[in-house]
Amino acid sequence: AFQALTVETLPRRLGAVAAVAEKVGGAPQGWKVREVGDGNLNLVFIVEGETGSLVIKQALPYVRLVGDSWPLPLKRSFFEYHALTRQEARAPGAVPKVFHFDEAQALIAMEYLSPHIILRRALIQGQELPRIARDLGLFMARTLFRGSDLCMKARERKADLALFADNVELCDITENLVFTDPYFGAPMNRHTPQLDPLVAELRADRDLRVEAQRMKHLFAANAETLVHGDLHTGSVMVTAQDTRVIDPEFAFYGPMAFDVGMLLANFWMAFFAQRGHETGGSRAGMRAYLLNVIEETWRVFREEFSALWRTERTGMLYHRSLYEEQNDTLGAEQALGHVLHGVWEDMLGFAGVEIHRRILGLAHNADFEDIEDVALRAQCEAAALRFGRHIAVNRRHVTSLGEINQLAQLLDEG
Ligand code: SR1
Ligand code: MG
């Protein structure tokens, strides 16, 4: 039967697991164990021993953020484990190494990434990480392309789609918290009180509400590839030299643009929050850095996706032999353009609603929450909300990130 681990019981319970004991080393009674989970859902332990260390992540049968009034199945750990193995195969080195998985105890033993910190924290502190745009652009292109019918054998992809189709409860969280709750007075919503008039305006905005539901429709019905499903800056660990993507428990077959939109939304929120973190000095450099990161991430994603399109198009969609037989390079490039354009338009829609839900819904971002001056926080959040509305509603008429980032700068300057 499932039992939640504690700092006290962990050495006894995991000391007998060879893969764990070998990695940590020494007598389990001597292991140093800390619980460090600060996410919304799970327990996370760091275990250090004589010769090594690892992280134990264990799901709880409820949402940690809310408590046992909101049950949540343990099987999310199963989906996280299987997503991690697929991501490692498709984007080698981009996720932590997995040493052990126990389905009944809903726990995964994985690499302890040190001295990494959570990307969101780094951005709040004003750290410019030189590799994130490239590493995350590559991660998205490789996992999203290689998990789709552009690359996989149809039978394998359909089997995998069936496996992940049972991640219903986590999809349900996203379906409600991201696409629906922010746009009406859902009971668990909260927002900074100074935003009341703007919130009322957004909730009365018919075009926005329709667009949010269209994005939800896409999210629920476009089973295009295995997406990470929760790719925000709290799901990335970094040093200046290394970037790792963690926490894919929300993984399911959904639209490619969902991961891209969520990640870029979180970069934009980091941008709009910078004025709230200027007590140590101006963050003008950091703001410019973040807008560059957004442009570079998208550029790397597009370039890598295009490279994979040209070399690994072995799935049933746009199969390479269809074009090669006719020597039709132009046709293949034309089709690539259409696919990327679709990702572009949908990515903007997903980004817009992700920004809204982090300011209006249940699960907020430390980027804004850590701004103690509430009036200043509301100012940063208002600019982000207006920006989110613009990119969601006008996503079909926006042609470049340069144009969007110019708007971001104008809104940020007030
Ligand atoms: C109740 S869970 C709230 C949020 O935390 C996770 O990280 C997901 O982003 C989810 O929407
Ligand atoms: Mg998470």
User: CA 183, CA 239: separation in Å to the nearest integer?
Assistant: 37
Q: What is the mean pLDDT of residues 384-411?
A: 98
Which residue, judged by its Cα, is nearest atom 5 of ligand 1?
40
Name the CATH architecture for the domain at 10-110. Answer: 2-Layer Sandwich (3.30)
CA of 177 to the centre of ligand 1 (A): 8
CA of 271 to the centre of ligand 2 (A): 21
Per-residue pLDDT at 13: 97
**Under a CB-based contact definition with an 8 Å cutoff, are residues 248 and 83 in contact?**
yes
CA of 203 to the centre of ligand 2 (A): 27
Sequence-ordered list of residues with C-beta below 8 angstroms from that of 219, at least 6 positions apart, any chain:
174, 175, 178, 179, 254, 255, 258, 350
Q: Burial letters for 91-121: b for 16+ Cβ neighbours within 10 Å, e otherwise?
A: beebbbebbbbbeebbbbbbbbbeebebbbb
**Residues near ligand 2 ion, CB 5 Å cutoff:** 39, 247
Point out the ligand 1 atom lying closest to the alpha carbon of residue 357: 11
pLDDT in tens, 44-64: 999 999 999 999 999 999 999
Structural domain boundaries in the chain: 10-110, 117-413
Q: Give me the interface pTM, i.e. the ipTM.
A: 0.98
Per-residue pLDDT at 38: 84
Q: Burial letters for 278-304: b for 16+ Cβ neighbours within 10 Å, e otherwise?
A: eeeeebeebbebbbebbbbbbebbbeb
Per-residue pLDDT at 315: 97
Per-residue pLDDT at 346: 98
pLDDT in tens, 203-237: 999 999 999 999 999 999 999 999 999 999 999 99
Q: Strand pairing of 117-118 and 252-254?
A: unpaired
Ligand 1 pocket mutation, candidates 40, 42, 174, 190, criterion most atoms within 8 A of CB: 40
Pocket residues for ligand 1 (CB within 6 Å)?
Answer: 40-41, 63, 65, 173-174, 177, 230, 363
Q: What is the mean pLDDT of the chain?
A: 97
Cis peptide before 115 (omega within 30 of 0): yes
Q: Which ligand is nearest to the CA of 247?
A: 2
User: CA 229, CA 260: separation in Å to the nearest integer?
Assistant: 10
pLDDT in tens, 268-326: 999 999 999 999 899 999 999 999 999 999 999 999 999 999 999 999 999 999 999 99
Per-residue pLDDT at 287: 98
For residue 200, what are its two tokens? 């009322």
CATH superfamily ID and name for 117-413: Aminoglycoside phosphotransferase (APH), C-terminal lobe (3.90.1200.10)
